[in-house]
Chain A
Amino acid sequence: MIRLGVPSKGRLMEQTFDWFAARGVRLSRSGSDREYAGQVEGADGVSLVLLSAGEIPRELVAGRIELGVTGTDLVREKLPGWASDLETVAEMGFGHADLILAVPECWRDCDNLDDFTTIARDFRAVHGFRLRIATKYHRLVRAWLAQHEVADYQLVDSQGATEGTVANHTAEAIADITSSGATLRANNLKILNEDPILKSQATLFANRQAMGKDMQRFLTQLGLT
């Protein structure tokens, strides 16, 4: 049996259902809206498990589901060594979001990461502590800044309303997921003129240990092999 994990609500669930429907597999939620059980029609030996999107990476690695739909951002942030456990089966073409670094729009002297680096250095000299970046993507942001040799900063944890931290003086900059940038603009923030830290989209992942015959047959049916 192949257990397929899909986000349990919202647009991500609907788009995932559409994506599978376009490949001849009909997924649906059984019973009421409150029930997290699902049905699969058009494929044998596949069952549907509805889960919170944030739990799907962990469930995949634990082997409680064999296939799962989730954002690349969550997999890379939450699973160190993810590529040893998971295989990227298909990028699904929706759920696009970029992880970006944003600073106050009023910083007229800050266009790119070089500016940001110098500002961080000056900030530390003036204020006596490192410039704070609010984020929930600690590993991704830290790895990206290390790769670009940015040093004079610190991360502060922000699990929600990250855009508000600058106005509240709990951070000087933020690193967060954005799709349109509208929330950033509404909070007087601008994105640094650099490639995103990560371009994320909804992706179908498989546990490497589940890549057997049954899986091959299902993936072939989906037109993925």
Chain B
Amino acid sequence: MISKRDKRNIGQRMLAAFQGTGAEEIVPDILLPAESLLDLYGEDIRARAYVTTDPIRGEMMLRPDFTVPVVQAHMENGAEPARYCYLGEVFRKQDMGDTRPHTARDNEYLQAGFELFSRDPDADAEVFAMFHDLLHPYGANAVVGDIGLLMAAVRSLPVSQARRDALLHHIWRPGRFARLLDRFSAPAPERSFPETQAAWAGLRGQQEMEQRMARLQADADTPPLPEIWAQRLRQLFSLRGNLAQVSAQLSRIAEDWPDIAASAQGIILRTGALAERGIDPGKIRFDAEHGRSTMEYYDGFTFSFGATTRDDWPPLASGGRYDALTRVLGKGREIPAVGGILRPGLIAELEQGQ
């Protein structure tokens, strides 16, 4: 059993490393208003976060992550560019499924993090290198991806705007996305909307239903997406390999697919920037779908570091670019943002195991 003090000491070492790059330490509240978190993450967060009520402030949540309060603090009084770091507890319920795990996972643990609000194209590489250097001594293995590449590919599809929006909306939900793609690749089945005797009930308006029926009827006349597009998409989404190989593959793919060239070029440049920082791209794994089902609102570069010897653990660190999140929280403003967190408690366990 590792004491909280030992875990915190490691966290403070990491925090000092972040501060060494000029990052300003930020100390968000532990009790956060639940509303913006619930609106953002929905039931996923309600299932995992501790929610309580305050007689004046209403529903409050024990801090389930730092990203949201850090972004909110920056939006309120931050100047650009800005770099922040933090260290503190997050609280997550660990609801098991039908059977109980042998050892319960922590429901209260430290996160140390680093967030960069900047328009500098080198920001992705800087953040990744920061975590890479901190975790390298522990033999952590890195996986990276880029949701922006997937989004660029979806935007390039020759489909109606309604279909494109639906696919983009579900990009973080792979099963639903695959079903939509199948559906759009086949002739649209005729829909009928049988009349009903039932009186109108509920808040959803009759007009909302009629709008959707009109959209479905218009959609029925849409020709199916040629099979070649679904194939291309599936191929791109299943791109795996080390970053050096994938960069080479991407530049070939982009030759025949100009709409994703800018995104592909971004990955290639980032790979170069990592190499310049002394990181071997041959040792970084690229997985086109990395973060797709776990990191909603991450809409660009994504990364995580796993403990090589402990594949049953959650990642030691994870992060990425979340411009979409600042757009949602910024209410009209947006700031390019990239950052990540690491878990000092897991690193402490690795240190003790060594």
Interface of A toward B, CB cutoff 8 Å: 76, 80-85, 104-109, 114, 117-119, 121-123, 126-127, 129-131, 139, 142-143, 145-146, 148-149, 151-155, 166-167, 169, 171-172, 187-189
Contact with A along B39-76 (1 / 0, CB 8 A): 10011101100000000000000000000000000000
Q: Would you call A154 and B43 a contact (CB within 8 A)? A: yes
A131 to B194, alpha carbons, bound, how many Å?
Answer: 24
Interface of B toward A, CB cutoff 8 Å: 38-39, 42-44, 46-47, 95-100, 166, 169-170, 173-176, 179, 191, 193-196, 198-204, 206, 208-209, 211-213, 216, 296
| List of A residues within 8 angstroms of B96 by Cβ | 80-81
Q: Would you call B42 and A151 a contact (CB within 8 A)? A: yes
| List of A residues within 8 angstroms of B209 by Cβ | 106-109
Q: Would you call A118 and B166 a contact (CB within 8 A)? A: yes
A122 CB → nearest B CB, Å: 6
Given A146-B44, A154-B38, A172 contacting B202 (CB threshold 8 A)? yes
| List of B residues within 8 angstroms of A148 by Cβ | 175-176
| List of B residues within 8 angstroms of A119 by Cβ | 204, 212
Q: Would you call A188 and B213 a contact (CB within 8 A)? A: no
Q: Which residue of A lies closest to B183 (CB)?
A: A114
Other A-B contacts than A109-B213, A149-B176, A151-B44, 7 sampled, CB-CB below 8 A, are: A80-B100, A85-B100, A108-B193, A121-B169, A149-B170, A188-B198, A189-B201
Q: Would you call A83 and B199 a contact (CB within 8 A)? A: no
Complex A-B, nearest 6 residue pairs according to Cβ-Cβ distance, in ascending order: A81-B100, A105-B198, A149-B173, A84-B100, A108-B193, A149-B176
Q: Would you call A152 and B213 a contact (CB within 8 A)? A: no
| List of B residues within 8 angstroms of A167 by Cβ | 201-202
| List of A residues within 8 angstroms of B42 by Cβ | 130, 151-154
Q: Which residue of A lies closest to B213 (CB)?
A: A109
Q: Would you call A104 and B202 a contact (CB within 8 A)? A: yes
| List of B residues within 8 angstroms of A149 by Cβ | 170, 173-176
| List of B residues within 8 angstroms of A121 by Cβ | 166, 169
Q: Would you call B199 and A118 a contact (CB within 8 A)? A: no
A49 to B320, alpha carbons, bound, how many Å?
Answer: 56
Q: Would you call B208 and A123 a contact (CB within 8 A)? A: yes
CB pairs A–B below 8 angstroms (8 shown): A80-B95, A119-B212, A123-B204, A142-B43, A149-B175, A167-B201, A167-B202, A187-B201
Q: Would you call A82 and B208 a contact (CB within 8 A)? A: no
Q: Would you call B212 and A106 a contact (CB within 8 A)? A: no
Q: Which residue of A lies closest to B93 (CB)?
A: A80
Interface SS majority for chain A: mixed
Indicate the member of A81, A153, A167 with the most B CB atoms within 10 Å. Answer: A81
A155 to B46, alpha carbons, bound, how many Å?
Answer: 9
Indicate the member of A117, A130, A172 with the most B CB atoms within 10 Å. Answer: A117
Q: Which residue of A lies closest to B165 (CB)?
A: A121
Given A104-B198, A166-B201, A188-B201, A83 contacting B98 (CB threshold 8 A)? yes
A142 CB → nearest B CB, Å: 5
8 Å CB contact of B213 from A81, A85, A108 = A108
| List of B residues within 8 angstroms of A117 by Cβ | 176
Q: Which residue of B lies closest to A131 (CB)?
A: B204
| List of B residues within 8 angstroms of A188 by Cβ | 198-199, 201
B87 CB → nearest A CB, Å: 30
8 Å CB contact of B99 from A84, A114, A139 = A84
| List of A residues within 8 angstroms of B200 by Cβ | 104, 106
8 Å CB contact of A108 from B38, B166, B194 = B194
Given A106-B196, A117-B176, A188-B198, A122 contacting B212 (CB threshold 8 A)? yes
Q: Would you call B179 and A114 a contact (CB within 8 A)? A: yes
Given A83-B98, A119-B212, A145-B43, A108 contacting B176 (CB threshold 8 A)? no
A145 to B206, alpha carbons, bound, how many Å?
Answer: 25
A151 CB → nearest B CB, Å: 6
A179 to B266, alpha carbons, bound, how many Å?
Answer: 56
A126 to B99, alpha carbons, bound, how many Å?
Answer: 40
A192 to B191, alpha carbons, bound, how many Å?
Answer: 16
| List of A residues within 8 angstroms of B203 by Cβ | 127, 169, 172
| List of A residues within 8 angstroms of B206 by Cβ | 106
A80 to B95, alpha carbons, bound, how many Å?
Answer: 7
Q: Would you call A151 and B194 a contact (CB within 8 A)? A: no
| List of B residues within 8 angstroms of A127 by Cβ | 203
A123 to B39, alpha carbons, bound, how many Å?
Answer: 13
Q: Would you call A106 and B201 a contact (CB within 8 A)? A: yes
B210 CB → nearest A CB, Å: 9
Q: Would you call A109 and B201 a contact (CB within 8 A)? A: no
A148 CB → nearest B CB, Å: 8
Q: Would you call A81 and B97 a contact (CB within 8 A)? A: yes
| List of B residues within 8 angstroms of A85 by Cβ | 100
B180 CB → nearest A CB, Å: 9
A105 to B202, alpha carbons, bound, how many Å?
Answer: 10
| List of B residues within 8 angstroms of A151 by Cβ | 42, 44, 173, 296
Q: Would you call A83 and B99 a contact (CB within 8 A)? A: yes
| List of B residues within 8 angstroms of A118 by Cβ | 166, 212
| List of B residues within 8 angstroms of A152 by Cβ | 42
